Copies of this chain bind each other. A is one copy, B any other.
Amino acid sequence: MKLDTKRKKVAIVGAGLVGALWSVILAKRGYIVDVYERRPDFRQAGYIGGRSINLALSERGWKAIEIAGIREKIEAVAIPMPGRMMHGLDGSLTFQPYGEKGQAINSVSRGGLNVELVNIADGHEQVHFHFNQICRGLDLETSAVRFEDGETGHRYTVEADLIFGTDGAFSAVRNTLQKLPRFNYSQHYIEHGYKELTIPPREDGSHRMDTHALHIWPRGHFMLIALPNLDGSFTCTLFLPFEGEESFKNLQTEQQVLAFFKKYFPDTLPLMPTLVEDFFDNPTAALVTVRCSPWNYGEKVLLIGDACHAIVPFFGQGMNAGFEDCTILDGLMDKYDEDWPAIIEEFNASRIEDANAIADLALANFVEMRDKVADPRFLLWKKIEKHLHERFPDEFQSVYSMVSFSHVPYSQALAEVSAHEELFERMLAIPKVDENWKGPEVEAVFKKWLGER
Chain A positions near chain B (C-beta within 8 angstroms)? 170, 178-179, 181-189, 242, 285-286, 288
In the assembled complex, the Cα of A187 lies from the Cα of B189 at a distance in Å of: 15
Asked if A184 and B178 sit within 8 Å, CB to CB, the answer is no
Closest to A184 in B: B188
Interface residue from B170, B184, B188, B189 paired with A189 (Cβ < 8 Å): B184
Interface residue from B183, B188, B242, B288 paired with A187 (Cβ < 8 Å): B183
Q: How often does this chain occur in the complex, in copies?
A: 2
A-B contacts besides A178-B187, A185-B185, A186-B188, 6 pairs, CB < 8 Å: A170-B179, A182-B286, A183-B187, A183-B189, A184-B187, A186-B186
Asked if B189 and A182 sit within 8 Å, CB to CB, the answer is yes
Which residues in B have their C-beta under 8 angstroms from that of A242?
Answer: 182
**Closest approach, in angstroms, between the C-beta of A44 and any C-beta of chain B?**
28
Which residues in B have their C-beta under 8 angstroms from that of A183?
Answer: 187, 189
In the assembled complex, the Cα of A181 lies from the Cα of B192 at a distance in Å of: 12
Asked if A181 and B185 sit within 8 Å, CB to CB, the answer is no
Which residues in B have their C-beta under 8 angstroms from that of A181?
Answer: 189, 285-286, 288
Some 8 contacts from A to B, beta carbons below 8 A apart, are A170-B179, A178-B187, A181-B285, A181-B286, A183-B187, A183-B189, A185-B185, A185-B187
**Closest approach, in angstroms, between the C-beta of A193 and any C-beta of chain B?**
8
Complex A-B, nearest 9 residue pairs according to Cβ-Cβ distance, in ascending order:
A186-B186, A181-B286, A182-B189, A182-B286, A184-B188, A185-B187, A184-B189, A184-B187, A185-B186
In the assembled complex, the Cα of A181 lies from the Cα of B189 at a distance in Å of: 8
In the assembled complex, the Cα of A263 lies from the Cα of B326 at a distance in Å of: 48
Which residues in B have their C-beta under 8 angstroms from that of A189?
Answer: 181-184
Which residues in B have their C-beta under 8 angstroms from that of A178?
Answer: 187
Which residues in B have their C-beta under 8 angstroms from that of A170?
Answer: 179
Which residues in B have their C-beta under 8 angstroms from that of A285?
Answer: 181
In the assembled complex, the Cα of A438 lies from the Cα of B35 at a distance in Å of: 73
**Closest approach, in angstroms, between the C-beta of A14 and any C-beta of chain B?**
17
In the assembled complex, the Cα of A288 lies from the Cα of B185 at a distance in Å of: 11
In the assembled complex, the Cα of A184 lies from the Cα of B290 at a distance in Å of: 10
In the assembled complex, the Cα of A242 lies from the Cα of B182 at a distance in Å of: 10
**Closest approach, in angstroms, between the C-beta of A167 and any C-beta of chain B?**
14
**Closest approach, in angstroms, between the C-beta of A307 and any C-beta of chain B?**
15
**Closest approach, in angstroms, between the C-beta of A53 and any C-beta of chain B?**
16
**Closest approach, in angstroms, between the C-beta of A360 and any C-beta of chain B?**
15
In the assembled complex, the Cα of A216 lies from the Cα of B179 at a distance in Å of: 32
**Closest approach, in angstroms, between the C-beta of A402 and any C-beta of chain B?**
28
In the assembled complex, the Cα of A170 lies from the Cα of B179 at a distance in Å of: 8
In the assembled complex, the Cα of A178 lies from the Cα of B82 at a distance in Å of: 40
Which residues in B have their C-beta under 8 angstroms from that of A286?
Answer: 181-182
In the assembled complex, the Cα of A184 lies from the Cα of B289 at a distance in Å of: 10
In the assembled complex, the Cα of A189 lies from the Cα of B188 at a distance in Å of: 17
Which residues in B have their C-beta under 8 angstroms from that of A185?
Answer: 185-187
In the assembled complex, the Cα of A285 lies from the Cα of B186 at a distance in Å of: 21
**Closest approach, in angstroms, between the C-beta of A52 and any C-beta of chain B?**
16
**Closest approach, in angstroms, between the C-beta of A425 and any C-beta of chain B?**
26
In the assembled complex, the Cα of A87 lies from the Cα of B42 at a distance in Å of: 67
In the assembled complex, the Cα of A184 lies from the Cα of B188 at a distance in Å of: 5
**Closest approach, in angstroms, between the C-beta of A221 and any C-beta of chain B?**
18
Most buried by B among A187, A285, A286: A187
Which residues in B have their C-beta under 8 angstroms from that of A184?
Answer: 187-189
**Closest approach, in angstroms, between the C-beta of A403 and any C-beta of chain B?**
25
In the assembled complex, the Cα of A242 lies from the Cα of B183 at a distance in Å of: 13
**Closest approach, in angstroms, between the C-beta of A201 and any C-beta of chain B?**
32
Which residues in B have their C-beta under 8 angstroms from that of A187?
Answer: 178, 183-186
**Closest approach, in angstroms, between the C-beta of A192 and any C-beta of chain B?**
11
Closest to A291 in B: B186
**Closest approach, in angstroms, between the C-beta of A325 and any C-beta of chain B?**
22
**Closest approach, in angstroms, between the C-beta of A452 and any C-beta of chain B?**
29
**Closest approach, in angstroms, between the C-beta of A64 and any C-beta of chain B?**
29
Which residues in B have their C-beta under 8 angstroms from that of A188?
Answer: 184, 186
In the assembled complex, the Cα of A181 lies from the Cα of B242 at a distance in Å of: 12
**Closest approach, in angstroms, between the C-beta of A313 and any C-beta of chain B?**
16
**Closest approach, in angstroms, between the C-beta of A42 and any C-beta of chain B?**
22
**Closest approach, in angstroms, between the C-beta of A57 and any C-beta of chain B?**
27
**Closest approach, in angstroms, between the C-beta of A100 and any C-beta of chain B?**
40
Closest to A286 in B: B181
